Chains A and B, each alone.
Chain A
Amino acid sequence: MQITFWGVRALVPSPGTETTVTGGNTLCLTVHGEGGETLAIDAGTGITPWGRSLLSGPFGRGQGELDLFITHPHYDHIQGFPFFVPAFIPGNTIRLYGSNYCKRTMEQVLESQMNPIFSPIQTLKNLNSNLLFPEVGPGGILSVGTLGVRLETLPHVTEQAMGVRVTEGGRVLVLAPDVNYPAGEVPPEAVALYRGADVLVHDVRSHRPGLERQHARETFDGRDAVAAAAAAGVKKLVLTHFHFDSTDAELDALLDGLGHDHPFEIELAREGSTLWI
């Protein structure tokens, strides 16, 4: 099993010379199984270069099938979808998974993103691929080839976001790219989802009472991620969802500041990098 990072930024893409190492695209990552099966998590701007890279394969011929998990529909998790070229090619099938958010289904949110005021695409119906919205709720389990997938609802601001646990053979990868813990501690459902992971990909942002609705950079400190990794006994913690103003140098310093005496490794997700598990 391997994971590739296509976008690691929170809130808004941050192009520029100060983010070239870590990357400036908003969230998207892909997981590849041993048999070549693929699933994708989130559709920030990082999904567009990945989409273009798929065109030389089955997706370019309208024979592709993809399971795409949207952890929650904030704009930095969906803004790349209207530019994901495989979604425009007839014959491709894309299954979109995501929980309701603010009483709206994932399909309703994506539909309103394409609204004629905001987008020349006007409606999801104008995408020519086969878009499916399987009803798999929290606690849901499915398999994508040899990859086993379990979904869990985790806290996120005033609503919730999805966490995804992927297993293959004895290997475990957990993706929680945008979560926070308003109760002040890592909740049991999160610890259970992360438990014993070989790799936990976790939001760098921590909960700070009163600041959760702002874009305050001081909350992007990795503290809650370290606490979650420790509580769940994971082997490696990979931080993602970096603040748009954090430069490459500042992120290196942040990693350094988290210390080196943890019972697990810590590293930063970097756009374009692949991690084998």
Chain B
Amino acid sequence: MRVQFWGVRGSIPVPGPLTQRYGGNTSCIRVDTGAQPVIIFDSGTGIRKLGQQLAAQGGEQEIHIFISHAHWDHIQGLPFFEPLYQPGNRITFYSRKRDEFSLRDIIHKVIEDPYFPLSHEDWKADVRFVELEDGAGAELAAGLVMSSSRLNHPLIANAYRIDHGGRAVVYVTDTAPFDHMVLDRDFIPKAPDLTAPVAPEVADLLSRMKDNLVRLCAGADLVIYDTMFTDEEYNRNPHWGHSAASHAVEVCEQAGARHLVIFHHAPERTDDQMDRLMEDILARYRDRNLSISPAIEGRVIEID
């Protein structure tokens, strides 16, 4: 399998001279098995150039887009995804199922007025929507299996795993660690006291969510993880729904994963600051049985 990063930023695209090396586009990753279907994680602004590349290849394509959740930075590239406007393509969107809204409505809304002067009626592709019950999976093609697990981030956040040819890639974003609070519908206006005891039912739910995620990452060759924070940033804003590298390392080690990719970079983090952050992370975990490397826009990781 071949994994290519098209967008690696969290929150908001950050063009400019200070983000040239790591990249300024929001979340989008392609997993390439060398055959159809095309597998894409998220549709941040990085999906625009991926879409141009796919559209240039022509032909009828089967494309599966796994939406981690519908916060803007994970869907804002969709109006500019050219395969949607090409006849013959079959495009399937996936997300975690929630009763109070439909994935179809969310995806349609993103390209309509007042945000864009377009409509899903402009799409020429055959577009489908699949909402996944917690923990659901599917065989996307012969020998190509997707599985999922709920994350600790408001509303519909899901992690996805792709298995093919005995290799596995897991996409884990956005998520807070599973230590202090469950993030779902409620707005948490300020950072809670991290030293306060966690209610047993909350601790129980968090522990089940974490166990499921560790199981999803079990033996994975590559785990791409929301590590937007440093530990200190997490302690300041634990209610924002993001992790630090320490949280990702813990999950990867428990799961016996081989390679952790630092992902969903903070928008304000410059290239030089990213270099220092990576040096710090690599120094801290150098004696572990886990490779760690950064997501960089344009980077390709081959898993053979």
Contact = CB atoms under 8 A, between A and B. Distances in A.
Interface residues of A, number: 46
Contact of B25 (A15, A112, A118): A15
Given A45-B13, A109-B114, A126 B268 contact: no
Most buried by A among B71, B122, B189: B71
B48 A12 contact: yes
Contact of B80 (A24, A49, A215): A215
B80 A17 contact: no
A12 B15 contact: no
A20 B18 CA distance: 10
A131 B49 CA distance: 36
Interface in B65-103: 70-72, 75-77, 79-80, 101
Interface in B99-139: 101, 106, 113-118, 122
Given A102-B113, A157-B117, A15 B16 contact: yes
A16 B24 contact: yes
Contacts of A126: 187, 189
Contacts of B185: 116
A261 B154 CA distance: 57
A20 B70 contact: no
B16 A12 contact: no
Contacts of A52: 268
B187 A117 contact: no
B37 to A, nearest CB: 25
Nearest to B115: A75
A158 B117 contact: yes
Most buried by B among A11, A16, A49: A16
Contacts of B155: 116-117
Contacts of B71: 118-120
Interface class of chain A by DSSP:
loop
A11 B76 CA distance: 10
A196 to B, nearest CB: 32
A23 B17 CA distance: 9
Contacts of A215: 80
Interface residues of B, number: 42
A120 B12 contact: no
A117 B70 contact: yes
A120 B80 contact: no
Given A15-B14, A116-B185, A213 B118 contact: yes
A264 interface: no
B3 to A, nearest CB: 20
B135 to A, nearest CB: 22
Contact of A45 (B15, B101, B122, B268): B15
Interface string A109-130: 1001100111110110010000
Contact of A74 (B15, B70, B114): B114
B72 A119 contact: yes
A73 interface: yes
A64 interface: no
Given A12-B45, A45-B15, A244-B48, A118 B70 contact: yes
Nearest to B21: A17
Contacts of B189: 126
Contacts of A80: 12
B151 to A, nearest CB: 13
A213 B122 contact: yes
A113 to B, nearest CB: 8
Contacts of B241: 120
A75 B116 contact: yes
B15 to A, nearest CB: 3
A87 to B, nearest CB: 14
Contacts of A9: 15
A117 B70 CA distance: 6
B233 to A, nearest CB: 15
B24 A24 contact: yes
A45 B76 CA distance: 12
Contacts of B13: 12-13, 15, 24-25, 45
Contact of B15 (A19, A83, A212): A19
A18 to B, nearest CB: 11
A136 B19 CA distance: 39
Most buried by B among A9, A11, A117, A157: A117
A74 B155 CA distance: 25
A15 B20 CA distance: 8
Given A15-B13, A15-B14, A102-B113, A118 B72 contact: yes
A11 B80 contact: yes
Contacts of B156: 117
Nearest to B119: A213
A245 B25 CA distance: 14
A159 interface: yes
A82 B154 CA distance: 17
15 contacts: A13-B24, A13-B25, A15-B16, A16-B23, A24-B15, A73-B115, A83-B267, A102-B114, A117-B106, A118-B71, A118-B75, A123-B187, A159-B117, A213-B118, A244-B48
